Each structure stands twice: as structure tokens, then as C-alpha cells.
Amino acid sequence: MRLRKGVKVFLVIVVLIVGIFIYYKVDQKKWKIEVISKEINYRSDHDANSNLIGKVRKGSKFKVLEVYLDDPYFIWYKVKRNMSTGWIASDRYDPYVKEINSPNSEVKEATVVDYNPPVLRFFDDVYYVKDIESINYDHLEVTDDSSYHLSHVVYYEEHPEDTDIPQYWIQYIAEDEAGNKASKIQKIVFENEPAPNKVKNFDEIKNSRR
């Protein structure tokens, strides 16, 4: 009887130890950031003008709760510190933090993740082309540290603000291996106008910018 009781106690202890070990391993795999600058701000929102909650020092580690990527200059990480949640910014080109176990990195050991979108350029105000099937990207210049994919969408504007003549626009989209995107819009003139089902309404672009 005592032997059975001792076995039960032993099994409970083993289960607890294994559970703690598994929790520790899972916790270690969670997405974190570590501050690598001497001291950075800890704010109430993903905005440099938001309320300053405090400072965090080099070596501090935080679990990442959320990431805000719409700031062109900074990556914002939502983290929990003590009993509050707040946001930490990291410069896109000179990071203040390093990432640990980031789901955005194809390389598991990577500590700096590429959040920088490709740089997309063209040098003429108007792109002249025979027809919609003849569109190519020879006139574009794209700069990125990794490989990228180019695509486009053509829009039709029936009532432009500065002319009575309907016109077409082409939106170029460049997406790199990390999923970062850049887009630019250029006026396009066709020798042979495309069929209506080959283009989208330019109002979609206008509405998305409001």
C-alpha cells in the first residue's frame, strides 16, 4: 500500500517536472524582442507623439503582442511591461531592438528581420504603350536587398479633376521575399484602349486614400 502511494507521488512529481520543462521550451520559442540600444522610449501608442510611459534599457526582453508596420520610419512593437501594455519603436534602417523567434524571418536564428519595402522608381510622368498586353517593366527601377516580384493594375478615370478627357493609370506593386510591398501610380496612354473588363475604376484608388 505504501509502495503504491510512493509510486503515485513519484509519478506526480515527474509529470510536474515535465510540464514545467515543456512550458519553458514553449515559452522560449515565443516571439520576443531584446533592446540593443542604451535606452529607448516606451509609449502608450504606435506614435512618436503619444504619451511617454517610461524608458526601457539595453538587454530588456519583451514578448511581442502585436506589430504596427504602417509607419515609414519605425517598426512599432506592442509589448507588456509589468502590469501595462505599450509600444516600443525600432528604426527601420538602424534597429534599436533585435527579434528572437520571429515568425517573419525565414531564418530561425535571424535577429534582425527585413521590414523595409522595395524602392520603386520610374522617370517619366507618362507611360506610352501600344495596348494592355504590351505592358512591361523595362522602364522601372527597383531596389531591394532580396529578390522581388512585380505586378500591376490598370485603372480608368472617367472624370479627371484637371481635364475633360478620361484617362488611364497604372499602379505598380513590388513585393519582396519577406512580404514587404511598395506601390506607385503612373499615368498610362494606350494606342489601343483596353476593354472595360481589363481595367478597374479609379475611384477605388481615391476612396482608399480618404
CATH at 196 = 2.60.40
Q: Which of 100, 133, 155 represents a domain boundary (last residue)?
A: 100
pLDDT in tens, 20-63: 333 333 344 588 899 999 999 999 999 999 999 999 999 999 99
Please report which confidence band the pLDDT of residue 124 belongs to, taking 50, 70 and 90 as the band edges. very high
Question: Where does a domain end: 70, 100, 130?
Answer: 100
The Cα–Cα gap between 109 and 100 comes to 8
* CATH code for the domain in which residue 61 is found: 2.30.30.40
Q: Give the range of the structural domain holding residue 94, as residue numbers without chain letter.
A: 32-100
Asked if 172 and 137 touch (Cβ cutoff 8 Å), the reply is: yes
Same domain, 130 and 79: no
Is 26 contained in some domain? no
Average pLDDT over residues 161-182: 88
Residue 44 belongs to some domain of the structure: yes
First to last CA, the chain: 77
Would you say residue 27 lies in a domain? no
Look at the chain and report how many structural domains it folds into.
Answer: 2
Its pTM stands at 0.54
> What backbone phi and psi angles, to 5 degrees, belong to 13?
-65, -40
Task: Summarize pLDDT for 71-100 with one digit per residue, the tens.
Answer: 878 889 999 988 889 999 998 878 899 888
The answer to whether residue 173 sits within a structural domain is yes
Residue 109 banded pLDDT, cuts 50, 70, 90: very low
Same domain, 126 and 84: no
Torsion angle, CA of 59/64/70/74, rounded to 10 degrees?
0
Q: Rounded distance, CA 154 to CA 172, Å?
A: 9
Angle at 60 between CA 31 and CA 64, to 5 degrees: 25
Region 110-123: mean pLDDT is 73
pLDDT, position 70: 83
Tell me whether residue 171 is in a domain: yes
User: Do residues 64 and 125 both lie within one domain?
Assistant: no
The answer to the question of residue 106 being in a domain is: no
